Amino acid sequence: MAAETEDLTAKYEAVIGLEVHVQLATRTKIFCACATSFGAPANTNVCPVCLGLPGALPVLNRAAVEMAVRASLGLHCRVNPVSRFARKNYFYPDLPKGFQISQYDEPLAEHGWVEVPAAGGGAKRIGITRVHLEDDAGKSIHDGFRDSADYTYVDLNRAGTPLIEIVSEPDIRTPDEAYAYLTALKETMQFLGVSECDMEKGQLRCDANVSIRPRGETKLGTKAEVKNLNSFRFARLAIEYEIARQARVLSSGGRLVQETRLYNADTGETVSMRSKEHAHDYRYFPEPDLAPVRISAEWLEQIRADMPEPPAEKRARFIASYGLREYDAQVLTGSRELSDYFEAVVKACGDPRLAANWVTGDLMGALDGKPIEESPVPAGRLGELCTLIAKGEISGKLAKEIFARMVETGDSPGVIMEREGLRQISDKGELDRIVNEVLAASTKQVEQYRSGKTAVIGYLVGQVMKATQGQADPGAVRELLQAKLSS
Ligand code: ADP
Ligand code: ZN
Ligand code: MG
């Protein structure tokens, strides 16, 4: 079976395009003033507009448009000066209006891209076809009630929550690339403050379009759209399964049909749900109750100016202007807060490499997986510590000791050094005296050194460090010992 699958992946190439829905982090819904808060009692965040009552008119939430534009810019899209809402008509119990307000042939933004790490090193661009605005439906609740066996309940709190749909080009070739693409999208949305992308709260939802074709073929094959992917991990597994399934069908002489399939996380399989619906099934038509969305050049520039730097750009800048290694730049742009923290340390000490080492090393070790927002050491304090190291006032070893106290107390390095008598012995005379004492007490080792066994100096350095309780600079101690021993 494993060998057979391998054979098939050598023969066929997968083609994948993802449709991702992201819930925008606005306080209120897209067409009414109801709250978007998660976890409110069922059917309390509702009004005539989001309940779809006759005569209620939608009013577009400006904050939702701004966030959607920010997201589009972060995905390097062209934002259209005019876009239009359209009704997508279908019946479902959690859709009281009987239609979704979406965008169809005139979307908010188009022609963008996202970069993901390429399999052979470097980066690969995945095209973004479009980003459009739409409203969310409510939620059907199939279990959890005493009579759930007989009834389905509907909670309309989510109805009217603003979403963007991000449609990718069919540029993705492997399940791993799909995973990387989703990770990059999520990271970008979080960085830009567009969405928290908490999948457990349904803030990011993904459908995968999958087809295969013989390697070398340029025409697209017949695709299946896989729904119900509740995590990035499931998305990867579902795509893997789907590629193998399609390859088996084709290689055994079968034919694929365009269809919608559902992923079952318990079995790890996809099962056919319905044959593919087509755009004309939805009878799209322009939304008569909303004016076109107009984004002036001034507004667009304003949004661009107020927008945080997207993660990929930030990473490139960390490498180019701070001289960081790719890996450190990657780690330090893991969240916007972490990158801000790092830059504050750099600003305080003026040494980016040193700051990177301390943040990715000792600080992240102390955080032990907790987010940087919970750091017991404020960025300014770590900056002070790095400044002392950079100026050569404390050794790396002493710095580690001071840092441990900073984690415990949150105090500044200066205060800790004062209070605990932790300081570098830079007084030449004092160090000289201690070195002489150690040499006098180690006649055997001194003899060994003079007869050519110079490695014994390590022992002598150790003795001096012990006598100073680690408060001497080991480099300076070694030099002083060498000078005395060879005179
Ligand atoms: P539909 O009309 O079925 O909605 P679209 O052309 O709008 O199809 O594309 C929807 C998504 O499917 C996009 O992400 C697109 O990249 C992807 N896609 C389109 N054709 C294929 C294909 N043959 N194989 C894989 N993905 C595809
Ligand atoms: Zn409402
Ligand atoms: Mg489509």
**Domain locations along the chain:** 2-298, 309-420, 428-486
Mean pLDDT across the stretch 164-172? 98
Ranges of beta strands (E only) in 329-483 are none
State in Å: Cα 29 to ligand 1 middle: 29
Q: Specify the ligand 1 atom closest to the Cα of 225.
A: 12
Output DSSP code: residue 455.
Answer: G
pLDDT, greater one: 36 or 281 = 36
Distance between Cα 151 and ligand 2 center (Å): 25
According to DSSP, the β-strands at 12-23 and 269-275 are unpaired
CATH architecture of structural domain 428-486: Orthogonal Bundle (1.10)
> Is residue 398 very low, low, confident or very high in pLDDT (cuts 50, 70, 90)?
confident
Q: How many whole angstroms from 94 Cα to the centroid of ligand 2?
A: 14
- What residues have their beta carbon closer than 5 A to ion ligand 2? 32, 34, 47, 49-50
CA dist 199 and 206 (Å) reads 10
Q: What is the pLDDT of residue 157?
A: 97
Query: CB of 348 within 8 A of CB of 380?
Result: yes
Please name which ligand lies nearest the alpha carbon of 157: 2
CB 181 within 8 A of CB 126: yes
Q: What is the pLDDT of residue 467?
A: 84
The Å distance, Cα 63 to ligand 3 centre, comes to: 26
Average pLDDT of 36-48? 94
What ligand 1 atom has the least distance to the C-alpha of 279?
2
d(CA 470, CA 457): 17
Residue in 209, 225, 239, 281 to alter for ligand 1 test, most ligand atoms within 8 A of Cβ: 209
CA distance 230 to 268: 12
In DSSP terms, 15 is beta-bridged to 211
Beta bridge partners of 86: 102, 286
Residue type at 298 in one-letter notation: E
Cα-Cα-Cα-Cα torsion 428, 430, 432, 437, nearest 10 degrees, comes to: -170
Answer whether 22's CB lies under 8 Å from 163's CB: yes
Share of the chain above pLDDT 70, in %: 97
Q: How many residues does the chain have?
A: 487
> Per the structure block, which two tokens stand in for 416?
């800790």
Pairing of strands 224-229, 259-264: parallel
Q: Over 70: is that where the pLDDT of 2 sits?
A: no
Looking at the CA of residue 222, tell me the nearest atom of ligand 1. Answer: 23
Q: Cα(36) to centroid of ligand 2, in Å?
A: 9
Q: Give the highest mean pLDDT range of 169-183, 384-398, 464-478.
A: 169-183
Give residue 159's pLDDT.
97
> Is the sign of the CA dihedral 423, 429, 432, 438 positive or negative?
negative
Ligand nearest to the CA of 59: 2
229 CA from centroid of ligand 2 (Å): 28
Q: In this predicted structure, what is the pLDDT of residue 475?
A: 78
Ligand 1 binding residues, C-beta < 6 A: 15-19, 167-170, 209-211, 220-221, 223
The pLDDT, as a whole number, for residue 4 is: 57
Enter the tokens of residue 139.
Answer: 């939620």
Structure tokens at 339: 């990158």
Q: Look at residue 444 in the predicted model and tell me its pLDDT.
A: 93
Sole residue written with tokens 């559902």: 262
Q: Which residues contact 442 (CB under 8 A, 6 or more apart)?
A: 459, 460, 463
Report pLDDT digits (tens) over 426-479.
667 778 888 999 999 999 999 999 998 989 999 998 998 888 877 777 777 888
**Could you tell me if 174 and 14 are in contact, meaning their C-beta atoms sit under 8 angstroms apart?**
yes
Alpha helices in 220-324, H assignment, sequence order = 232-251, 297-306, 311-322
Closest ligand, as measured to the CA of 102: 3
State both tokens at 26. Answer: 């606005």
Q: How far is the CA of 83 from the centre of ligand 3 (A)?
A: 17
Mutation test residue for ligand 1: of 104, 211, 223, 227, the one with most atoms within 8 Å of CB: 223
Query: Which ligand 1 atom is at minimum distance from the Cα of 18?
Result: 14
Token pair for residue 244?
């193998």
* Centroid of ligand 1 to alpha carbon of 324 (angstroms): 39
pLDDT of residue 1: 46
What ligand is nearest to the CA atom of residue 209? Answer: 1
Q: What is the rounded distance in angstroms from the CA atom of residue 192 to the CA atom of residue 47?
A: 30
pLDDT at 418: 80
Burial class (CB in 10 A: 0-12, 13-18, 19+), 169: middle
Return the H-helix or E-strand segment holding 207: strand 204-214
pTM exceeds 0.75, yes or no? yes
Confidence at residue 6, expressed as pLDDT on a 0 to 100 scale: 60
